[in-house]
Structure 1
Amino acid sequence: MTTAASTARARRRTLAVAAAVTLGLVAAAPLTGPDPAVAAAPTVCGNLAADEVYQEEVGALGIDHACEHLKGRKTAKTPKTAATRMAQRVSTGVAVAAALGTTPAEVGSWSTAVNPGTKTIGISAVLFHTGEVLLFGGKYKATDKNTASYLFDPVTMTGHEVPAPAAVFCGSVTQLSDGRLLSAGGANPVPKGITDLWLFDPITDQWLRQPDTPLGRYYPTSTKLADGRIVITAGTQLDGATKNPTVEVYTPPPAGGTMGTLEVVGPAHVTNFYPTQWLMPDGKMLQVDGRNDYALNPSNWSWATLPLLPSTSGAGPGGLMLPGGPSGSSQVMMIGGLVKGVAQNKTFKYDYANPSAGWKTGTPMPTTRAHMNVVQVPDGSAFGIGGNSSKLYDVGQKQTMAYDPATDTWTNMAIQGPRRAYHSTALLLPDGRIMSAGDSGTGGGRQLVDFYSPPYLFQGPRPTIASAPDAVDYGSTFSIATSGPTATEAVLMAPSATTHAVDMNARRVELAVTPTAGGLTATAPTARVAPPGYYMLFTLTADGIPSTASWVHVGP
């Protein structure tokens, strides 16, 4: 069966052929002028004619971002001379053969990076069901012990300070089922782990102290299980040298409650910093740590050792859960990483449901990268944002890359402005853009934020979710009313909670759907496929163009 994702990938391959035309590798057909119907539309954004997408995006994104996309669509239709194209390549320093194309419909588009009005550095970034993003990292003053924190609205480009009550940077971040954030650990001073656990409520802006993790944790990872509890692993203890060997489970308070519980479970399990962890469809947790990987069974808290990776992924690798059907995905991918100070371009793929096959080497990236943020989008593809090729900040990589899981291929996309290396973050927004922040090094993006608009935002009208439920139970059937272009697919995207290139909450869940006269009928997944909490519900056309998301709470 043809899905929106596979059709979208085919469309991107078609665009790659179009790019060859742009690069002069094959003969080009004559370019046509603007559509007369569009030319007759009202003038907006200075001197541009509004198209059918513009008014919809004004409501979803605001005038500035709607204008940015409109300009991109107009640029995509405007012929360019060979001299203009070559001048553009020379000005960006991009080799001709490395570019997919020159238009936003082919390579996407980056906004200008701006400081939204804060001293906070986005070392951690968490998207809430309010649509706001919590950024934290850095300090308001050099003498401060606590971490600067800023709650930011990426549509209005406004925000306000919500100072963290402790040195929570370099801890772990995970959303609870009720939409609050659990922050575990941190450092004061680096690399001495702190014992603090805190809840942050995006509705009240309050930080609530939770039970301590007694040994301290600096660089831990947190993962939500099918029952909503949070597993916390790894990190450096209070002494700044000893690795925390304990595995702890945090049980959240009831919705609206103020105090959860924390307990040590299972045997000692020592790992390196920030292992990558995913809940798998059998309810167990997969953990990847360098060259090692394990499965944690929550029924008895035992660990099983799984096949070794072909070589270590080192520090700062990217991780990606590959697309799966409505019953969930068992396939994951590790990307790049830093080994002895040098970044790798290797990728390794593993099917947890078929352990005897072991890890397989995938297509290498075009460039070596560590500290790159890998952001999955609704059609199942992913974008590599930033990263660098040496040490923590050296040899910054500004070329965005697109990864197609169907063909296991990487494609160079638009070039970002700021460097986003170590201590940078990136996440998917409900409007389909990707927000990028952070990099605390000299010459890095630091307090600046910018936004990547993927090619699908320039490839035609988007479907619209006219109505959808605010909450669904596991296994229930629900209706999604749509308008505009026909939607053929629906997916849930868990909001990101990311730091140090490890996203501790994001996942894509494909829904089983049936077309109806007014939209789609969908079936909610199980808890092992979609842990309880808030999700972005997207619909997609057969070409893979997504709607703006509607928020839905899944599970109890």
Structure 2
Amino acid sequence: MADPAQVGRWDAVLPLPNVAIHAHLLPDGTVLFWGRRDDPDGSMNDHVGTPHVWDPATGATTPTARPALVDGTTVNLFCSGHVFLPDGRLLVAGGHLADGDGVNQACTYDHVTGAWTPLPLMNGGRWYPTVTTLADGRVLVASGSAVDGNGNSVVSTVSEIGDGGPWQPTVDFIGLPLYPRMHVAPDGRVFMAGSNPTTYLLDTGANSWTPVGPRINGDRQYAPSVHYAPGKVAYIGGGNDAGTDLPTAATEVIDLTATPPTWRAAAPMAFRRRQHNATLLPDGTVLVTGGTGGPGFNDVSPGRPVHTAELWDPAADTWTELAAEDVDRCYHATALLLPDATVLSAGGGEFMVGASPNAPADTHRDAQVFHPPYLFRGPRPEILDAPAEITPGEPFAVEAPGATTVSLVRLGSVTHAFDQNQRFVALPGTTALTAPVGLPPGHYMLFALSEAGVPSVARILRLLPAPAPRFAARAVAAAPVRPGADRTGTRVTVGLTAQCPYGLGPCWGGAYEALSGLDDVAAVDPVADTADSTAVVHLRGTGLPDLRRWPAQIARSAGGGYAFRGIELTVTGSVEKREGRLFLMGPAPLRLRALRPGTELAWDLATRGPRPATAAERNAYRDLRRRAARGPLTATITGPARRTRTGWSLLVRVVGP
């Protein structure tokens, strides 16, 4: 049997009344969680849901009231964002109407009263938003998608800031990813670490976004990022490599206090992972659990889910393989640090596979508790006395015989491979401590650690709010300028298939950035066509695109996150017949061909294949030949365009006058 002092130990699997897709450590040490639907055989688009509270001390679970709007309309908090307010209430923003279509609600949960309280509505629905507690205690809600009047699932470009009253908009940002990985920097700005390749700082005072520069490994979806030390952020695994479609094992780190801050490679994990969780531990290490190493979005076929946990030591930049859990913890799994320094690993499943729910065997209404190796390396210190509240910048002391250091870990609030609330700070000593300045206010676990790194059971204390620090201007690495509003060049419709199963509309951020970076593109339309899985770009000139380079350029930015299917053009010119073949004389001669089954650019998300052409589209080329036989004509022709060694061809789908 493996030594738990080296690899840790997992407890037996414990049942839960629902899949813990969203999990939160409350200020009283209990865990609030909820899933997608109460009935495992019910609708995947229920507009009601019952959160539960699990007590680690007793193992008991208790349902809470169901959250609702002011008028009593129930809401489903699945796919919402959440974070703790300075007073300990949990704020939840957004929720689920259908995949890609969110609710505009916001509400709070009070663990003392057990009550849900609705807040003012946001500026639009948000599905997959991120919520961040700012340095002054207000909250920022960013991203999240909803269906617009044209039937497109559109990611919100305008973030909002609130404190329980009416929401205030911030400057817009086109191309935000779903669940952006956001962290409050030491100077009070908000750092977006992913999943898009280029990372940014948002100054909520000046209302501006500043590019920091690209991560090394491009677009990496469904990967955790952690604020593992003040100003230091790690981005771990995720995404899909171009070609193999596998996730990466790579780790990247950035120090936001450096001038300029720059991403660099850290040691990679032993296992490729996507859909995994990363949990900050009291000794400053990072525990990674779950995930899949297979290709695609969420491969849970035998041998693909990763059961072996890994531990990253940032000081040594080393990874250690730990004990393996018993259950697949992939998409919709969560992990949460508990006050006794163990980690709850829970959930997984409750997703759509095409038009049907996943197999029941892949839905996990259960959890396991992990005891990290540090709990087997000697006696645990005991905190005999600690303040219930601390004030930033002011001294405090902790009485904990045998302890040499203390650490603060903000209460976790996790979903979809990202904890929107956790934060770690180490404080040397125990008797002459100073509460850190610049941390988001709210409740933290205070751990005392022995010289051997063994943590105590935590005391949960409250860091009081303080005035937000002033934003200091600093040099930032130059980044490519985003394409502007020039839309005078050739209009090109681009077919992209998102690895994300919800389609190009909601999974738009990485695609928008990749298309914006194409050499000959001047502008990208801000909204993708969800139904057809297409986007529109505008070239810098009136010629044709350089299709020889586009696939590689998209892959460099987005990896395997998006598959390039081709393009469609609308070109006006004279139709000429040469040696029995039709040509359209536009910016360049285009040989006209018939649209064949399987060559359509429009995509069917349900079948994951080209959408079959209509009868009129299939017959468009035949009808054009008949018209051309009667003499010269000018026409506007739309269809998929191909470039071969002999030149360009246009597959005739629609013929206009």
- After TM superposition, the score normalised by the length of structure 2 is 0.64
Match of residue 335 from structure 1: 236
Check conservation: 2:347, 2:363, Cα contact below 8 A: yes
Q: Deviations over 1:488-544 (max 9, x none)?
A: 10111101011101111101112253x5xxxx2321111x1x211111111111111
Q: Deviations over 1:90-109 (max 9, x none)?
A: xxxxxxxxxxxx11111000
1:303 aligns with 2:214: no
Q: Amino acid of the residue matched to residue 131 of structure 1?
A: G
Q: Amino acid of the residue matched to residue 314 of structure 1?
A: R
Q: Amino acid of the residue matched to residue 386 of structure 2?
A: A
1:137 aligns with 2:35: yes
1:156-555 matches, within 5 Å, as 156-162=58-64, 163-165=66-68, 166-239=75-148, 241-252=153-164, 260-289=165-194, 290-323=196-229, 329-339=230-240, 342-356=246-260, 358-390=262-294, 391-394=297-300, 395-441=304-350, 442=359, 443-444=361-362, 446-483=364-401, 486-513=402-429, 520-526=431-437, 528=438, 530-555=439-464
Match of residue 126 from structure 1: 24
Structure with higher helix content? 1
Percent identity between the aligned chains? 31
Query: Which shows bigger deviation, 103-112 or 160-169?
Result: 160-169
SS in structure 1 opposite 2:329? coil
**Deviation of residue 201 (structure 1)?**
1.0
Check conservation: 2:35, 2:51, Cα contact below 8 A: yes
Q: Amino acid of the residue matched to residue 376 of structure 2?
A: F
Q: Amino acid of the residue matched to residue 248 of structure 1?
A: E
CA distance in 2, matches of 1:357, 1:149: 40
CA distance in 1, matches of 2:205, 2:142: 17
Check conservation: 1:313, 1:336, Cα contact below 8 A: no
SS in structure 2 opposite 1:105? helix
CA distance in 2, matches of 1:147, 1:460: 43
Q: Deviations over 1:338-372 (max 9, x none)?
A: 22753111111112122536211221211110111
SS in structure 2 opposite 1:216? coil
CA distance in 2, matches of 1:498, 1:180: 15
CA distance in 1, matches of 2:206, 2:261: 26
1:152 aligns with 2:64: no
Check conservation: 2:381, 2:455, Cα contact below 8 A: yes
Check conservation: 1:419, 1:445, Cα contact below 8 A: no
**Deviation of residue 269 (structure 1)?**
4.3
- Larger CA Rg, structure 1 vs 2: 2
Q: Amino acid of the residue matched to residue 112 of structure 1?
A: A
**Residue ranges of structure 2 left out of the alignment (5+ in a row):** 69-74, 351-358, 466-657
CA distance in 2, matches of 1:124, 1:164: 14
Between the two proteins, the alignment pairs up a number of residues equal to 433
**Residue ranges of structure 1 left out of the alignment (5+ in a row):** 1-84, 86-101, 253-259, 324-328
**Deviation of residue 237 (structure 1)?**
1.8
SS in structure 2 opposite 1:490? strand
CA distance in 2, matches of 1:469, 1:310: 43
Match of residue 3 from structure 1: none
Check conservation: 1:307, 1:355, Cα contact below 8 A: no
- After TM superposition, the score normalised by the length of structure 1 is 0.75
Match of residue 97 from structure 1: none
CA distance in 2, matches of 1:140, 1:210: 24
Q: Amino acid of the residue matched to residue 225 of structure 2?
A: G
Q: Amino acid of the residue matched to residue 198 of structure 2?
A: N
Q: Deviations over 1:378-405 (max 9, x none)?
A: 1101110111123224211100101111
Check conservation: 1:512, 1:523, Cα contact below 8 A: no
SS in structure 2 opposite 1:283? coil
Q: Amino acid of the residue matched to residue 487 of structure 1?
A: A
Check conservation: 2:377, 2:452, Cα contact below 8 A: no
**Deviation of residue 151 (structure 1)?**
0.8
SS in structure 2 opposite 1:227? coil
CA distance in 1, matches of 2:84, 2:260: 34
Q: Amino acid of the residue matched to residue 156 of structure 2?
A: N
Q: Amino acid of the residue matched to residue 247 of structure 1?
A: S
Check conservation: 2:129, 2:142, Cα contact below 8 A: yes
Query: Which shows bigger deviation, 177-186 or 334-343?
Result: 334-343
Match of residue 114 from structure 1: 14
Check conservation: 2:222, 2:276, Cα contact below 8 A: yes
Q: Amino acid of the residue matched to residue 168 of structure 2?
A: E
CA distance in 1, matches of 2:220, 2:321: 24
Q: Amino acid of the residue matched to residue 110 of structure 1?
A: W
CA distance in 2, matches of 1:455, 1:433: 10
SS in structure 2 opposite 1:232? strand
CA distance in 2, matches of 1:548, 1:492: 12
SS in structure 2 opposite 1:339? coil
**Deviation of residue 330 (structure 1)?**
1.6
Change (3 A) 1:445 1:401: farther
CA distance in 1, matches of 2:385, 2:299: 45
Q: Amino acid of the residue matched to residue 450 of structure 2?
A: T
CA root-mean-square deviation: 1.6
